[in-house]
Structure 1
């Protein structure tokens, strides 16, 4: 039986009992039947006589013999005074309403008996779904907001607490499962409130559709509207240079070569930091990293002694192999020098933006699928330096600051060693991180098993969209948790024309949400995206988020000139400017012929 039937039967029972009592009070106390005398006059019966007759009538109706005898005497007197019909009408009205009340009460009792849950959760998380789940979610959010104040809303009209914002978000879901739609709810709310917003744009739709006051701040070397990354402002100390080197020269299967090449790169950047301060750019860096071996040794001697021993014997096979590794990875520097060669373009510092984000103008770091390796390196480098800036004491703790980092498909970037800084120190400094990933296996593949576990623990709110049936779904189902339940089972047997029902109770432990349910009940629906939300108390909330349709406000991508010019004509030549030669050529310069000879020595 449904909940509605329980409510109706209970109300009916109370109403019928009230009507029965009312019929008695009105019919026998306020307006009792009268006795009609022989001369036609009427005289009321005494209340005691009516009450005695009423009692006898009731006992006779129930089959009591003495009551039946008494009622026969009353019946003769009532008939004699022509009051029997009026008495019977009053009696049966009171009895009928009383019987209906008992019938309704019996129905209510049966509803409670047979509508008792066959499955009762004893311990563990509970899945709250449907309208009841939304109501429970709203109540839990309201309780937090009363303590910490209201923040932005994930579900319309249901604000999260401001403290929950800084506890970070992890959104997991397969391709097409609704991750981006879920993230758009948070992005739109943050922009409207005027928070600092950084968005990792993997498809161009964010640049094309996000609202902004004017134009968004775009950093994308493949787009002609891009700001020029002011690398000198963000890479100002040697430790920053090491972070940049780790991004441009990732760790190889034989780390000896990559780590040695990183030290040379650090020496080049340290040279610019020491001699040019913050007045250098990508063209200057390109000129330095394409210098000759003798100058590399001079950079190391003056600015990075760790690299001196690597360059001590210029003609050795080891040194030549290290230089080959270094030269191979410096092609990205040359590409960025070409892309960001316009001296009149506006410059952008991620450190300066962190301290003073521009309200209502989201910062978009756009990934270009046509140049995946280029995008991985420069975006990973910028986020790595941003993590260092978050950990710096120069960024003070603040309850008022709110800077959002929306990192969709974040595990596709190279590993950022300092990324846990965002999660550990960002909370107290007003940094809110929203990570989007396909599953935990994707995070483990890039950051390792331990990091995947710690990320799941350090993010206060987990949102799960559709996860296709796979080992990843099993993994996430396990992370959601288990519950201990008490299950009731009923069985009926028929013997001798009678049916008996027996009931048994047993306990079991089961998953709150199974792997198959992650694939079948979540993701896009007719009216929105159905997701699971964890972290708000012990419950697991199933919510449906309405669709958000981004209007086309601007072109998603406007290719820069260097992306479609011939190799014989660089962007510098297009702009009418020759490539600056920061360093004089040398006889031992790392030329193409020398690089070919180096490769021969490694075969």
Structure 2
């Protein structure tokens, strides 16, 4: 009887194909599971980066193209790309169907084609800049926007700032130590770098702002002019304007208990200005104060032609002793300026020192910095600030039809010259002037007698930058202005099931505004209608101490550019 063949003799194992199949299935299952896991993680990353699901298909195409180089990893990677594409596409479809903010977010997702177009556009723009760059040229993108800061996830936030399209007005608010001044300095320095002029009214004379703006002017090849109460340059805020405009400048910082006292002072000052100009005398604060004396004005009027002299003398003869006593109060308040140590720096007769004219400086796109020293001279600072803002109003009127891109930084404007600043809104845009206003709390704009001030300011803003607010009412106002967004509201039924509905909620809560860290701000681009975003604001590079910078040269002249700073 023949013996049975042994496995060892033939070398054939009937279970081998089954084992190989099981092994292959185990490996394939593991690869698919790993691919799905990687795909899910990739899908979450794509959603976080706001990428379109088409990127996963691009990745799949690359995997199939490079499968030989990828070797055994290619099947797992292909599964991962398919899983990511499927999941992100489903999320995208759900967002579109949900509508509101989710649909808007889906529409903003970056597709491979749009990314390629942006990269190509940036390349052409950079190539053009390297071939045609010139001093003072705009350093911004083609849309005329400035990167103000970045969100915690790294996404940049841009605000409108361009040389064309008229002025844009911004309000920067923030409690002491929140970073408000740094934000103002960053925007102003970037405006200078883009070719804009700058007029800065700084009540407290911040050394960092002063040094940074001076370096920005030197780098851009622009003239830097500085005026301080301690001198080195002369500024006459009453050099331009009609008799009515100059009267308003003189009385801008004054308060009258009754309107007729204001009208009386305006009328007298109108005669003073007309008489000075008719006699060939430059209108200045010192000349105005001197001629608030009735006898002085009467003597000066004798230099006019007969007809004008008769008008002035008739007016002076009509004044009663009580009216002259009322005018004496105006004269005494204005004499505080002329008789103080500041007076000689407002008097064009001061010799052997540089002198500048604000209108000429703006036309020249110079950088003009006013240090009002409000800490040591609070009353004088308010009077000076109001006069400078009024002179800016005259400058704006002169630039109608011939706009000059300029940024005007007015810090603590609510306490300095709020009514005058509000009047700037009307014609600033058409003259090319962009207002960059600063105050500590938003509720600073709610003051007795000016109930509509807050609405007038907010209604003219393009951008609101809110650093930390201490007053709860200010934080609530910021939260209300920040806009609304869509949100899911989940409700539990009596049977234990849940329902979800789409509702709208405020983008910011008041407590978020009150808890902002130093250098962080809630930014609302109001002209775009987009909701507020919380960003870390960019910081200008640090440089040498301000005292070193200012001592290099007299105000109104240029010094060699300082060395590079650190961020």
Write the distance in 2 (CA, Å) between the matches of 1:426 and 1:194: 18
TM-score by length of 1: 0.62
Who is 2:455 aligned against?
453
Residue deviations 1:341-380, cap 9 Å, x none? 522222221122222233xxx2111111211221221221
User: The residue matched to 2:289 in structure 1 has which SS?
Assistant: helix
Who is 2:200 aligned against?
199
From the superposition, tell whether residues 164 and 281 of structure 1 become closer, same or farther in structure 2 (CA, over 3 Å): closer
Write the distance in 2 (CA, Å) between the matches of 1:97 and 1:291: 106
User: The residue matched to 2:168 in structure 1 has which SS?
Assistant: coil
TM-score by length of 2: 0.66
From the superposition, tell whether residues 174 and 241 of structure 1 become closer, same or farther in structure 2 (CA, over 3 Å): same
Matched-pair contact (CA < 8 Å) for 2:490–2:501: yes
Who is 2:363 aligned against?
355
User: The residue matched to 1:383 in structure 2 has which SS?
Assistant: helix
Deviates more, 1:201-210 or 1:182-191: 201-210
Tell me which of 327, 331, 346 is aligned to 2:331.
327
Write the distance in 2 (CA, Å) between the matches of 1:208 and 1:239: 37
Write the distance in 2 (CA, Å) between the matches of 1:330 and 1:531: 42
Residue deviations 1:20-68, cap 9 Å, x none? xxxxxxxxxxxxxxxxxx899xxxxxxxxxxxxxxxxxxxxxxxxxxxx
Write the distance in 2 (CA, Å) between the matches of 1:440 and 1:125: 31
Write the distance in 2 (CA, Å) between the matches of 1:147 and 1:347: 37
Q: Offset of 1:532 from its aligned partner?
A: 2.8
Who is 1:375 aligned against?
381
Tell me which of 518, 530, 533 is aligned to 1:538.
530
Tell me which of 259, 263, 271 is aligned to 2:275.
271
Aligned runs of 1:57-456 on 2, under 5 Å?
Answer: 82-100=12-30, 123=100, 149-155=143-149, 162=162, 166-204=167-205, 205=207, 206-208=209-211, 210=213, 211=215, 212-213=217-218, 216-220=224-228, 222-225=229-232, 227-231=233-237, 233-235=239-241, 237-248=242-253, 250-276=254-280, 279-292=282-295, 295=298, 302=308, 312-315=318-321, 318-335=322-339, 337-341=343-347, 342-358=350-366, 362-368=367-373, 369-392=375-398, 394-398=399-403, 401-417=404-420, 419-420=421-422, 422-445=424-447, 448-456=450-458
Q: Is 1:482 the counterpart of 2:484 in the alignment?
A: yes
Write the distance in 2 (CA, Å) between the matches of 1:327 and 1:294: 13
Matched-pair contact (CA < 8 Å) for 2:145–2:159: yes
User: The residue matched to 2:459 in structure 1 has which SS?
Assistant: helix
Larger Rg: 1
Write the distance in 2 (CA, Å) between the matches of 1:537 and 1:80: 83
Write the distance in 1 (CA, Å) between the matches of 2:169 and 2:483: 20
Matched-pair contact (CA < 8 Å) for 2:174–2:468: yes
Write the distance in 2 (CA, Å) between the matches of 1:127 and 1:448: 39
Who is 2:130 aligned against?
none
Matched-pair contact (CA < 8 Å) for 1:122–1:485: no
Write the distance in 2 (CA, Å) between the matches of 1:80 and 1:311: 140
Q: Is 1:511 the counterpart of 2:502 in the alignment?
A: no
Deviates more, 1:184-193 or 1:443-452: 443-452
Who is 2:475 aligned against?
473
Who is 2:520 aligned against?
529
Q: Is 1:554 the counterpart of 2:542 in the alignment?
A: no
From the superposition, tell whether residues 502 and 87 of structure 1 become closer, same or farther in structure 2 (CA, over 3 Å): farther
Residue deviations 1:517-551, cap 9 Å, x none? 1011x231xxx434434334523222112444453
From the superposition, tell whether residues 390 and 489 of structure 1 become closer, same or farther in structure 2 (CA, over 3 Å): same
Write the distance in 2 (CA, Å) between the matches of 1:81 and 1:307: 135
Matched-pair contact (CA < 8 Å) for 1:267–1:303: no
Aligned runs of 1:554-593 on 2, under 5 Å?
Answer: 554=547
User: The residue matched to 2:488 in structure 1 has which SS?
Assistant: strand
Task: Could you tell me which runs of 5 or more consecutive residues in structure 1 were left unpaired when the two chains were aligned.
Answer: 1-37, 41-78, 133-137, 494-500, 559-603
Write the distance in 2 (CA, Å) between the matches of 1:303 and 1:151: 56
